[in-house]
Amino acid sequence: MHKRLLQLGAQPLTPRGDGDDQHYLGVDGGLDPWLETLWFTILSHYPLPKNKEIISSDILPPPSFEVQFLEEDHKVEEEEPEGDGATLVYQEGVVVENRRLTARDHFQDVRHFGFAGIGGEEISYSPGDVMNIRPCNLPDEVQEVINYFGWQDIADRYFNLIPTRDDITVLSRWGKSHTIRKVLTKHLDIFGRPRRYFFELLSFFTTDPQHAEKLKEFASAQGQDELYSYCYKLRRTTFEVLQDFHSAKVPLKYLFDLIPEMRPRSFSISSSPKMYPNQIHLTVAIVKYRTKMKLPRVGVCTKWMAGLSPGDKVSYRISKGTMRLPDSPSTPVIMIGPGTGVAPMRAFLGDRILEGAFDNVLFFGCRNEKKDYLYQEEWEQREREGGVRIFTAFSRDQEDKIYVQHRIEENAELMWEFIERRKGVVLLSGNSKRMPTDVAEALKTVFRTQGRMTEQEAESYLGEMEKRGRFQQECWA
């Protein structure tokens, strides 16, 4: 869009700012200095009228909603509309399986989940699609929040949210009437990572001047390194920050400005709809790690998912992923999916096998063959049946670490046969930290050694593959 505006003759007010979501401060790391330049430039071009002034940061902004409690005997419509607006409609599924895939003594807990439609309802999706799940906070943790704020007597009383401005609406998926317990369980991300605005707004409700000063520092551009050390590096949750700044007494009506809505979490579907009709499978690593905090850090969604049992219901919707199989079953497919990156590959492979497409190669990597070789029996059975060739890389089973990129280079001749001579497709999925770059380098090594290419030619060849959809990636941080 920036380039097109320049082509049309637009003159930028200030140089374009680019955010980097891998920055330790997130996009704010690039946004803060850019905003200072932007506001200075705007005010120099368009000064404020004489009778207007910038609202002081010392003034508490009004809440977005007023809270109107209903009478005790008021009848409430229990059924909630499910959706993110006019088009993103959620539906309910039921858990049919929650099974651990990794060894019990392995540090990482990876689960296989199975979901079905309520009452046998038909489920429609394609290989490569994504399941977006709306998580919930756990009941005992929600009760802890209620106790902390002293809301025990009103936690289950129904109330309406009344917007304070015309441009504000209550999200339709929240339903018409609410309780504190319900919004803390289903809607507010109080155990997630706090936003910067959280610290700014919380400073207005403290009775301790030192608390207020520190919160304002965290919210400022100059205090971002401090905020990173205190909050983001240690993965403090919003509720933990509230407990640290215990002098803050938050009015209920400001809770909806203070705490962001809980976002749905997205997972690559790991089942083929042809092989498992009306079922959705997910392969999920339960997020749990340690920082210098005493308590272990856990993921909001996967913590909840780990406790799901057959018969439990989940709210979800299906969206398109970024990878797709080639139209012709005769086109070879090379799948590279270390760790839980193997999830969409399992879906693709199941579909391919049922179509009679057997020119499939899977590169799978993990730490130990006996600990975290996900779906080992299934892969070995598929290989015995001739549906796929498996190349494994167990990085910790020998002194020298071996990863999927090493297996790719070792099988350069096969890779070149499938990629160049037979115009195959390469699919890559997994963690985005180093793996995609290492795999790309391994592919370029194959092109140089087998295709007698220069470094520049190999780079151009890989770029052309990506442009034509013959090299597809779906990686995440």
10 Å Cβ neighbour count for 153? Answer: 8
Give pLDDT, residue 81: 46
- Ordered per-residue pLDDT tens for the chain, 477 residues: 999 999 999 999 999 998 887 787 778 888 888 988 999 999 999 999 988 888 888 899 999 999 999 987 666 665 554 555 545 688 999 999 999 999 999 999 999 999 999 887 889 999 999 999 999 999 999 999 999 999 999 999 999 999 999 999 888 788 888 999 999 999 999 999 998 899 999 999 999 999 999 999 999 888 888 998 999 888 899 999 999 999 999 999 999 999 999 999 999 999 999 999 999 999 999 988 777 766 777 889 999 999 999 999 999 999 999 999 999 999 999 999 999 999 999 999 999 999 999 999 999 999 999 999 999 999 999 999 999 999 999 999 999 999 999 999 999 999 999 999 999 999 999 998 899 999 999 999 999 999 999 999 999 999 999 999 999 999 987
Dist CA 230 CA 241 (whole Å)? 10
The pTM of this model reads 0.88
Beta bridge partners of 132: 266, 317
Give pLDDT, residue 176: 80
Structural domains in the chain, CATH included, are 2-45 (no CATH), 65-71+80-88+135-258 (1.20.990.10), 333-476 (3.40.50.80)
> In the numeric block, which tokens belong to residue 251?
């009015």
User: Which DSSP helix (H) or strand (E) runs through 180?
Assistant: helix 180-186
Dist CA 78 CA 62 (whole Å)? 30
> Across the chain, which distance is largest between two alpha carbons, in Å?
81
Terminal C-alpha separation, the chain? 26
Dist CA 345 CA 135 (whole Å)? 25
> In the numeric block, which tokens belong to residue 279?
């079922």
> In the numeric block, which tokens belong to residue 177?
């009437």
Distances (CA, A) of 108 to 188, 305, 359, 365: 28, 15, 32, 15
Give pLDDT, residue 86: 46
Distances (CA, A) of 331 to 118, 358, 462, 470: 37, 10, 18, 10
Give pLDDT, residue 24: 78
